[in-house]
Amino acid sequence: MSVLIFAEVADGAIRKSSQEALYYGAKVAEMMGTTATALAIGSANTDALAAAGRFGVTKVLHAADGALNEANSMAYASVIAAAAAHEGAKVIVTAKSTLSDGVMARLSGKMKAALGANVTDLPDLSNGFRVMSSIFTGKAFAVTELKADVKIIAIKKNAIVPVETAALATVEAFAPALNDADFSVKITGQTKASGAISLPEADLVVSAGRGFKGPENWGIVEDLANALGAATACSKPVSDLDWRPHHEHVGQTGVKVSPNLYIACGISGAIQHLAGVNSSKVIVVINKDPEAPFFKAADYGIVGDVFEILPKLTAAVKAL
């Protein structure tokens, strides 16, 4: 009856975003009086997987079949269902991501499981099984009862702050039979901004809007982001105009972020933009217009010209 956590693997180790899921799953297991098992799919380093123990899981199942190195939502859903059966798990935890979105949707269909998406806190088990979910793209929360026998919880970034120990998990090979029909989707290529910090996982984000006038002016945005170790983001018109790549666009129709710090520069703060960023812990707004609506959603504000302010901030960060 353990809790199963889908631990996403990147570059041979468990992704940072999944570390929160491991800790969350371990906490749920504790609440239920059971243990937590992680499932890692695809090639990974055994020592790196054992390190999942630091976040409270006692065991890691490793499905290392070479066919699974390509992230494939059908095959992954099948492997997770097999692992859940193997462990007798009725609660499955994942961090929300572009991969887990597709995988968990399939798994919900496969196992007739109740799926709580964008969960922001530990569940309430006092009378049934309830989770708090972020809805209306961050504009509200819903307390939702998960009524099926099997429950899937997809947590939003910052749903829980992991506390690490020195414990190591045991790693067991897991080799369920794979189904050919799960492999009709082929990944033929991948492009990824190299070295850059992944936006959905970033703790710090520097975001820039149409106030920057053109793509040639992004140097000062990148300078500040680099000095902070932050990811860069942008508003929708900026990606629509191709000033920046689409995966940097945050908001209602873009990436939803919940970093510790979101610095919005030259962005007006339209409701559709706010929707994707308002669960950030601290919001800083820099805008030359004192009436910009974004100031109403901010913790710190500077009324001024981004072309003057950003270099000053970068210098101040470097002087820290």
Ligand X SMILES: Cc1cc2nc3c(=O)[nH]c(=O)nc-3n(C[C@H](O)[C@H](O)[C@H](O)COP(=O)(O)OP(=O)(O)OC[C@H]3O[C@@H](n4cnc5c(N)ncnc54)[C@H](O)[C@@H]3O)c2cc1C
Q: Pick the binder of another protein from 40, 80, 169, 309 (CB under 8 A).
A: 309
Stretch of 21-29, 50-58, 131-139, 169-177 lying at the interface with another protein (CB under 8 A): 131-139
Name the 3-class secondary structure at 151.
strand
Q: Pick the binder of ligand X from 120, 235, 278, 280 (CB under 6 A).
A: 235
Q: Pick the binder of ligand X from 209, 230, 231, 284 (CB under 6 A).
A: 209
Convert residues 278-297 into a mask of x (bound to ligand X by CB under 6 A) and - (unbound).
Answer: ---------xxx--x-----
Q: What distance in Å separates the CA atoms of residue 232 and residue 222, rounded to the nearest whole number?
A: 7
The residue type at 259: P
Structure-block tokens of residue 84? 């859940």
Query: Which position has the token pair 């239920």?
Result: 32
Name the 3-class secondary structure at 180.
helix
Cβ atoms within 10 Å of 262's Cβ, excluding its own: 28
Please tell me whether residue 311 binds ligand X under the rule CB under 6 A. Answer: no
Residue 190 CB burial class (10 angstroms; 0-12, 13-18, ≥19): exposed
Name which of residues 151 to 190 contact another protein (CB under 8 A). 181, 184-190
Stretch of 27-35, 36-44, 53-61, 197-205 lying at the interface with another protein (CB under 8 A): 197-205
Please tell me whether residue 145 binds ligand X under the rule CB under 6 A. Answer: no
Please tell me whether residue 31 binds another protein under the rule CB under 8 A. Answer: no
Q: Choose between 42 and 269: whose C-beta lies nearer to ligand X.
A: 269
Q: Choose between 39 and 306: whose C-beta lies nearer to ligand X.
A: 306
Q: Pick the binder of ligand X from 98, 179, 260, 272 (CB under 6 A).
A: 272
* Residue 242 CB contacts under 8 Å (≥ 6 apart), including other chains: 215
Q: Pick the binder of ligand X from 210, 222, 226, 311 (CB under 6 A).
A: 210
Q: Pick the binder of another protein from 143, 163, 173, 241 (CB under 8 A).
A: 143
Please tell me whether residue 116 binds another protein under the rule CB under 8 A. Answer: yes
Q: What distance in Å separates the CA atoms of residue 240 and residue 244, rounded to the nearest whole number?
A: 8
Count Cα neighbours of 244 within 13 Å in the Cβ-side half-sphere.
25
Residue 277 CB burial class (10 angstroms; 0-12, 13-18, ≥19): buried
Site residues, ligand X (CB under 6 A): 209-211, 235-238, 251-254, 266-268, 270, 272-273, 276, 287-289, 292, 305-307
